Amino acid sequence: MTAIQGARERARREVTTAIMDEARRRLAVDGAAKLSLRAVARELGMVSSALYRYFPSRDDLLTALIVEAYDALGEAAEGALEAAPRSAPAERWVAVCAGVRAWALAHPHEFALIHGTPVPGYAAPPDTNAPGGRVPFALARVAREAVEDGLLGPVPGGPLPEPLAREAAALVAEHAPGVPAPAMAAVVASWAQLVGLVGFEVFGQFTGVIERSRAELFTHQARRLAEGAGLPPRQVPPH
Protein backbone atom coordinates (compact mmCIF):
# COMPACT_ATOMS: atom_id res chain seq x y z
CA MET A 1 0.00 0.00 0.00
CA THR A 2 2.55 2.52 1.09
CA ALA A 3 5.76 0.66 0.50
CA ILE A 4 8.31 1.83 -1.95
CA GLN A 5 9.14 -0.61 -4.72
CA GLY A 6 5.72 -2.20 -4.78
CA ALA A 7 3.64 -4.14 -2.37
CA ARG A 8 3.71 -7.05 -4.74
CA GLU A 9 7.42 -7.58 -4.51
CA ARG A 10 7.25 -7.47 -0.75
CA ALA A 11 4.42 -9.96 -0.72
CA ARG A 12 6.47 -12.21 -2.92
CA ARG A 13 9.36 -12.13 -0.50
CA GLU A 14 7.08 -12.89 2.41
CA VAL A 15 5.40 -15.81 0.70
CA THR A 16 8.76 -17.16 -0.43
CA THR A 17 10.17 -17.18 3.07
CA ALA A 18 6.92 -18.59 4.43
CA ILE A 19 7.23 -21.47 2.00
CA MET A 20 10.81 -22.12 3.01
CA ASP A 21 9.97 -21.92 6.70
CA GLU A 22 7.20 -24.43 6.31
CA ALA A 23 9.38 -26.63 4.09
CA ARG A 24 12.09 -26.61 6.75
CA ARG A 25 9.52 -27.57 9.33
CA ARG A 26 8.27 -30.45 7.21
CA LEU A 27 11.83 -31.50 6.53
CA ALA A 28 12.17 -32.29 10.19
CA VAL A 29 9.04 -34.43 10.07
CA ASP A 30 9.27 -36.39 6.86
CA GLY A 31 12.84 -35.91 5.72
CA ALA A 32 14.18 -34.55 2.48
CA ALA A 33 13.23 -37.54 0.40
CA LYS A 34 9.56 -37.23 1.24
CA LEU A 35 9.35 -33.46 1.19
CA SER A 36 5.99 -32.82 -0.44
CA LEU A 37 5.08 -29.61 -2.20
CA ARG A 38 1.44 -30.36 -1.70
CA ALA A 39 1.86 -30.74 2.04
CA VAL A 40 3.71 -27.45 2.26
CA ALA A 41 1.02 -25.71 0.24
CA ARG A 42 -1.75 -27.29 2.29
CA GLU A 43 -0.18 -26.14 5.52
CA LEU A 44 0.10 -22.64 4.12
CA GLY A 45 -3.51 -22.58 3.03
CA MET A 46 -2.73 -22.36 -0.63
CA VAL A 47 -3.26 -24.71 -3.50
CA SER A 48 -0.30 -26.73 -4.73
CA SER A 49 -0.18 -25.20 -8.15
CA ALA A 50 0.21 -21.74 -6.67
CA LEU A 51 3.47 -22.84 -5.13
CA TYR A 52 5.00 -23.28 -8.56
CA ARG A 53 4.90 -19.52 -9.00
CA TYR A 54 7.63 -19.33 -6.39
CA PHE A 55 9.65 -22.47 -7.00
CA PRO A 56 9.53 -23.95 -10.48
CA SER A 57 9.99 -27.46 -9.13
CA ARG A 58 10.41 -29.45 -5.98
CA ASP A 59 14.11 -29.72 -6.65
CA ASP A 60 14.42 -25.94 -6.78
CA LEU A 61 12.87 -25.71 -3.36
CA LEU A 62 15.37 -28.30 -2.21
CA THR A 63 18.22 -26.32 -3.72
CA ALA A 64 17.13 -23.22 -1.85
CA LEU A 65 17.03 -25.19 1.39
CA ILE A 66 20.43 -26.69 0.68
CA VAL A 67 22.04 -23.30 0.08
CA GLU A 68 20.45 -22.03 3.25
CA ALA A 69 21.72 -25.00 5.23
CA TYR A 70 25.24 -24.66 3.85
CA ASP A 71 25.24 -21.01 4.82
CA ALA A 72 23.98 -21.73 8.31
CA LEU A 73 26.61 -24.41 8.82
CA GLY A 74 29.30 -22.14 7.40
CA GLU A 75 28.22 -19.37 9.70
CA ALA A 76 28.40 -21.70 12.69
CA ALA A 77 31.94 -22.68 11.72
CA GLU A 78 33.06 -19.13 11.07
CA GLY A 79 31.44 -17.86 14.22
CA ALA A 80 33.32 -20.44 16.28
CA LEU A 81 36.48 -19.42 14.49
CA GLU A 82 36.09 -15.72 15.28
CA ALA A 83 35.37 -16.45 18.91
CA ALA A 84 38.57 -18.43 19.47
CA PRO A 85 41.83 -16.59 20.16
CA ARG A 86 44.18 -16.48 17.22
CA SER A 87 47.15 -17.33 19.41
CA ALA A 88 46.07 -20.94 19.93
CA PRO A 89 45.58 -22.45 16.47
CA ALA A 90 44.84 -25.98 17.66
CA GLU A 91 42.14 -24.69 19.96
CA ARG A 92 40.70 -22.63 17.11
CA TRP A 93 40.62 -25.72 14.93
CA VAL A 94 38.86 -27.71 17.62
CA ALA A 95 36.44 -24.82 18.09
CA VAL A 96 35.52 -24.88 14.40
CA CYS A 97 34.98 -28.62 14.55
CA ALA A 98 32.87 -28.25 17.67
CA GLY A 99 30.86 -25.52 15.96
CA VAL A 100 30.11 -27.80 13.06
CA ARG A 101 29.10 -30.60 15.41
CA ALA A 102 26.88 -28.39 17.53
CA TRP A 103 25.06 -27.01 14.51
CA ALA A 104 24.58 -30.47 13.05
CA LEU A 105 23.18 -31.90 16.28
CA ALA A 106 20.82 -28.94 16.54
CA HIS A 107 19.72 -29.22 12.91
CA PRO A 108 19.99 -32.90 12.06
CA HIS A 109 17.65 -32.81 9.09
CA GLU A 110 19.36 -29.86 7.50
CA PHE A 111 22.69 -31.56 8.07
CA ALA A 112 21.30 -34.65 6.36
CA LEU A 113 20.21 -32.45 3.49
CA ILE A 114 23.75 -31.37 2.72
CA HIS A 115 25.81 -34.32 3.91
CA GLY A 116 23.48 -37.27 3.49
CA THR A 117 22.61 -39.28 0.45
CA PRO A 118 22.33 -37.05 -2.58
CA VAL A 119 18.89 -37.18 -4.16
CA PRO A 120 19.22 -39.31 -7.29
CA GLY A 121 18.74 -37.41 -10.49
CA TYR A 122 19.35 -34.19 -8.62
CA ALA A 123 22.59 -32.45 -9.50
CA ALA A 124 23.60 -29.73 -7.08
CA PRO A 125 23.65 -26.49 -9.08
CA PRO A 126 26.78 -24.29 -8.96
CA ASP A 127 25.00 -21.93 -6.55
CA THR A 128 25.77 -24.41 -3.83
CA ASN A 129 29.53 -24.45 -4.40
CA ALA A 130 30.46 -21.27 -2.59
CA PRO A 131 28.36 -21.85 0.56
CA GLY A 132 29.43 -25.49 0.54
CA GLY A 133 33.05 -24.40 0.77
CA ARG A 134 32.75 -22.33 3.88
CA VAL A 135 33.57 -25.06 6.39
CA PRO A 136 36.71 -26.30 4.64
CA PHE A 137 37.68 -22.67 4.12
CA ALA A 138 37.37 -22.03 7.82
CA LEU A 139 39.66 -24.97 8.51
CA ALA A 140 42.10 -23.76 5.88
CA ARG A 141 42.02 -20.32 7.40
CA VAL A 142 43.14 -21.69 10.75
CA ALA A 143 46.14 -23.22 9.01
CA ARG A 144 46.82 -20.10 6.96
CA GLU A 145 46.76 -17.77 9.94
CA ALA A 146 48.89 -20.17 11.93
CA VAL A 147 51.45 -19.91 9.15
CA GLU A 148 51.24 -16.12 9.23
CA ASP A 149 51.83 -16.16 12.96
CA GLY A 150 54.66 -18.66 12.71
CA LEU A 151 52.66 -21.20 14.70
CA LEU A 152 52.38 -24.01 12.19
CA GLY A 153 54.56 -26.93 13.14
CA PRO A 154 55.79 -29.80 10.99
CA VAL A 155 53.08 -31.87 9.37
CA PRO A 156 53.38 -35.54 10.35
CA GLY A 157 53.04 -38.36 7.86
CA GLY A 158 56.03 -37.78 5.63
CA PRO A 159 56.08 -36.29 2.15
CA LEU A 160 52.98 -36.41 -0.04
CA PRO A 161 52.87 -38.83 -2.97
CA GLU A 162 53.35 -37.03 -6.25
CA PRO A 163 49.86 -36.45 -7.69
CA LEU A 164 48.51 -35.47 -4.32
CA ALA A 165 51.33 -32.99 -3.77
CA ARG A 166 50.45 -31.33 -7.06
CA GLU A 167 46.75 -31.04 -6.34
CA ALA A 168 47.36 -29.83 -2.82
CA ALA A 169 49.75 -27.20 -4.15
CA ALA A 170 47.04 -26.00 -6.54
CA LEU A 171 44.61 -25.64 -3.65
CA VAL A 172 47.20 -23.76 -1.63
CA ALA A 173 47.85 -21.34 -4.47
CA GLU A 174 44.17 -20.63 -4.91
CA HIS A 175 42.84 -20.57 -1.37
CA ALA A 176 45.51 -20.55 1.31
CA PRO A 177 48.78 -19.02 0.13
CA GLY A 178 51.72 -19.90 2.31
CA VAL A 179 50.29 -23.10 3.74
CA PRO A 180 52.49 -26.16 3.10
CA ALA A 181 50.93 -28.67 0.75
CA PRO A 182 50.88 -31.52 3.32
CA ALA A 183 48.94 -29.30 5.71
CA MET A 184 46.50 -28.44 2.95
CA ALA A 185 45.96 -32.10 2.16
CA ALA A 186 45.36 -32.71 5.84
CA VAL A 187 42.80 -29.91 5.91
CA VAL A 188 40.82 -31.41 3.05
CA ALA A 189 40.94 -34.91 4.50
CA SER A 190 40.06 -33.60 7.95
CA TRP A 191 36.99 -31.98 6.52
CA ALA A 192 35.74 -35.34 5.28
CA GLN A 193 36.65 -37.07 8.52
CA LEU A 194 34.96 -34.36 10.54
CA VAL A 195 31.78 -34.88 8.56
CA GLY A 196 32.14 -38.61 9.12
CA LEU A 197 32.36 -38.20 12.87
CA VAL A 198 29.45 -35.78 13.00
CA GLY A 199 27.39 -37.89 10.60
CA PHE A 200 27.79 -40.96 12.79
CA GLU A 201 26.36 -39.03 15.71
CA VAL A 202 23.57 -37.38 13.77
CA PHE A 203 22.54 -40.55 11.99
CA GLY A 204 22.69 -42.62 15.13
CA GLN A 205 25.39 -45.03 14.08
CA PHE A 206 27.10 -44.80 17.45
CA THR A 207 23.98 -46.20 19.08
CA GLY A 208 24.94 -49.09 21.31
CA VAL A 209 28.63 -48.39 20.85
CA ILE A 210 29.35 -44.99 22.35
CA GLU A 211 26.52 -43.50 24.33
CA ARG A 212 27.66 -41.18 27.07
CA SER A 213 30.99 -39.85 25.88
CA ARG A 214 30.43 -38.83 22.30
CA ALA A 215 31.51 -35.26 22.94
CA GLU A 216 34.74 -36.42 24.51
CA LEU A 217 35.49 -38.81 21.68
CA PHE A 218 34.78 -36.06 19.19
CA THR A 219 36.99 -33.48 20.85
CA HIS A 220 39.76 -36.01 21.25
CA GLN A 221 39.66 -36.77 17.54
CA ALA A 222 39.33 -33.13 16.50
CA ARG A 223 42.54 -32.47 18.38
CA ARG A 224 44.24 -35.28 16.55
CA LEU A 225 43.03 -33.92 13.24
CA ALA A 226 44.58 -30.58 14.19
CA GLU A 227 47.87 -32.31 14.90
CA GLY A 228 47.64 -33.96 11.52
CA ALA A 229 47.47 -30.52 9.92
CA GLY A 230 50.56 -29.34 11.75
CA LEU A 231 48.77 -27.45 14.50
CA PRO A 232 50.59 -28.35 17.70
CA PRO A 233 48.70 -28.92 20.95
CA ARG A 234 48.68 -26.20 23.54
CA GLN A 235 52.12 -26.97 24.86
CA VAL A 236 54.55 -29.07 22.95
CA PRO A 237 55.34 -32.07 25.13
CA PRO A 238 59.04 -32.56 25.78
CA HIS A 239 60.18 -35.75 24.07
Partner DNA sequence: CAAAAGCAAGAGCACTGCTCTCCTTTTTGA
Partner DNA sequence: TCAAAAAGGAGAGCAGTGCTCTTGCTTTTG
Alpha carbon distances (Å) from 64 to 8, 97, 132, 181: 21, 25, 13, 34
- Cβ contacts of 219 within 8 Å, gap of 6 or more: 94, 98
Residue 238 makes contact with a second copy by CB under 8 A: no
Is 73 an interacting residue with respect to a second copy (CB under 8 A)?
Answer: no
Q: Report the C-alpha gap between 226 and 187 in whole angstroms.
A: 8
- In the list DNA, a second copy, none, the entry touching 59 (Cβ below 5 to 8 angstroms by class) is DNA
Residue 169 in the binding site for a second copy (CB under 8 A)? no
The answer to whether residues 143 and 229 touch, using CB atoms and an 8 Å cutoff, is: yes
Reported in sequence order, the residue ranges of the chain that DSSP labels E, i.e. its strands, are none
Q: Within positions 203 to 222, which residues make up the interface with a second copy, using CB under 8 A?
A: 203-206, 208-213, 216-217, 220-221
Q: Which of a second copy, DNA, none does residue 50 bind to, with CB < 5 to 8 Å depending on kind?
A: DNA
Mind giving me the DSSP string for 145-189? HHHHTT---PPSS-SPPHHHHHHHHHHHHHH-TT--HHHHHHHHH
188 is in the binding site of which of DNA, a second copy, none (Cβ under 5 to 8 A by kind)?
a second copy
Tell which one of 6, 45, 85, 120 touches a second copy (CB under 8 A). 120
Position 36 contacts a second copy (CB under 8 A): no
| Chosen from DNA, a second copy, none, partner binding at 11 (C-beta under 5 to 8 Å by type) | DNA
Q: What residue 39 binds from a second copy, DNA, none (CB within 5 to 8 A, per partner kind)?
A: DNA
Name which of residues 129 to 158 contact a second copy (CB under 8 A): 129, 132, 136, 156-158
Rounded Cα–Cα distance for residues 108 and 181 (Å): 33
CA atoms within 13 A on the CB side of 149: 15
Question: Smallest distance from the beta carbon of 73 to DNA, in angstroms?
Answer: 25
* Calpha distance 168→101 (Å, rounded): 26
Total residues belonging to the chain: 239
Q: Is 173 in the site for a second copy (CB under 8 A)?
A: no
Chain contacts with a second copy (rule: CB under 8 A): 29-34, 112, 115-121, 129, 132, 136, 156-158, 160-161, 163-164, 166-167, 171, 185, 188-189, 191-197, 199-200, 203-206, 208-213, 216-217, 220-221, 223-224, 228, 237, 239
